Amino acid sequence: MKRKKITVWFFCICLIWTTCSLGQHAVSAATPRVMVWDYAIEEGGIYSGQDFTLNLTLKNTSSSAVRNLKLTLSTENGEFLPVDGAGTAYVDKINGDTEIELPFSMTALADLEEKSYKLIVKTEYENSNGTEYTVEDSIFLPVFLEQRLSVTDVFIPEEYLELGDTVEVSASVNNLGSGTLRNVTAKVSGDNLAEAENYVGNIESGTSGMVDILTKATGISVVGDKNILTITYEDREGKIQEQEFSILVTIEEPVYTDLEKVKEPADVGDILGRVAWIALGILCLLAVIWYLIRRRKRKQKILEEF
C-alpha cells in the first residue's frame, strides 16, 4: 500500500512538472506580432512632386503588450522622403490587441511615373521579458501625375444670333498638367443654347484638343443668363473629373420686317406667273375662235360657188 502511494505521488509530481514546462515553452514560443493594419492619405492621393501625409495604423495582434517600439519608413529607390526628420517614430508601449495611428509627413519626388511604389515599414520592439523582435511590412502607394486644364480660343462665328439659329461653338482644351487627360468630352448647355456634346479624346501633357459643337439657339438673351462649356475627363483610376467655363452668347428675336421683305419677291413672282398663265389661256381661246370663224366663212364661200 505504501509503495502504491509513493508511485501515485511520483506520477503527480511528474505531471505537474510537465505541465509547467509546457506552459513556459508556450509562453516563450508566443511571439508578439505588431503589423501594419491600415493606412490613409489625408490629401486623398499622392502626386508627383508634392507633399502628403501618410497615416499608418499599427496593431498589436497578440494578447501581451510590447514596449520600446521603433518604426522606420523607407523605399527601394528613395521615391518618398520625409519632410522633416528621418522617417521614424517611437512608441513607448502598445497594449495587447490594441491599435495606434501614426502620421508621417512625406514628399514624393518630382520625376515619378504614374504607378504604385513600394513603401517598406520596419518595426522593432520588445516583449515584457525584453526579447527583441524585428518585423517588416510592405504597402504599395499609388502616385498620380497632376491633371490641370484650361479652355482658350472660345469662338462663335456670329456675334449676334436669332432665335432658332444653328450655333457653332469651337474652343481649345489645353492640358497644363503632367498627366494625360483621358476620354475628354465637351458639352454645351445653358439658358440660351440647346444641350449638345462633342467627344475630344485623350489629350497628352503639353498638348491641346479641339472642341467643335453644333447646337441651337433656344432662348432670347436677358440679363443674368448663363451658358456653360463643360469639360469632363477621366483620371488614372477612371473617376470622372469635371470643369465648367462660361460662354458669352447673344440671342435676339427674329426681325419679322426682314422676313416680309424676303417674301415680297416671291409674292410678285406668283402674281406674274398667274398673269402669264391667264394671258396664255386667253390667247389660246382667241386662236380657237379665230380658227372656227375662218372655217365657217370658208364653208359658206364654197356653198355660194355651187
Residue 257 falls inside a structural domain: no
Residue 301 falls inside a structural domain: no
pTM for the predicted model, two decimal places? 0.58
The reply to whether 120 and 219 lie within a common domain is no
Q: Domain of 131?
A: 30-144
The reply to whether 125 and 107 lie within a common domain is yes
Q: Which of 233, 252, 271 is the last residue of a domain?
A: 252
Number of domains in the chain: 2
The reply to whether 92 and 139 lie within a common domain is yes
The reply to whether 108 and 122 lie within a common domain is yes
CATH number for position 234: 2.60.40.10
Q: What is the DSSP string of 274-287?
A: HHHHHHHHHHHHHH
The reply to whether 47 and 135 lie within a common domain is yes
Q: What is the pLDDT of residues 60-107, one digit of tens each?
A: 999 999 999 999 999 999 999 999 877 899 999 999 999 999 999 999
Confidence of residue 25 (pLDDT cuts 50, 70, 90): very low
pLDDT above 60: residue 19: no
Q: Which of 228, 252, 276 is the last residue of a domain?
A: 252
Residue 233 falls inside a structural domain: yes
- Mean pLDDT, range 235-262, rounded to an integer: 78
The reply to whether 108 and 154 lie within a common domain is no
Q: Which residue has the higher pLDDT, 284 or 232?
A: 232
Q: How high is the pLDDT of residue 8?
A: 46
Contact criterion met (CB below 8 Å) for 136 and 74: no
Residues 173, 176, 180, 181: what is their CA dihedral angle, to the nearest 10 degrees?
-30
Confidence of residue 299 (pLDDT cuts 50, 70, 90): low
SS3 114: coil
> Distance between CA 255 and CA 260 in Å, rounded?
9
Q: Which residue has the higher pLDDT, 277 or 41?
A: 41
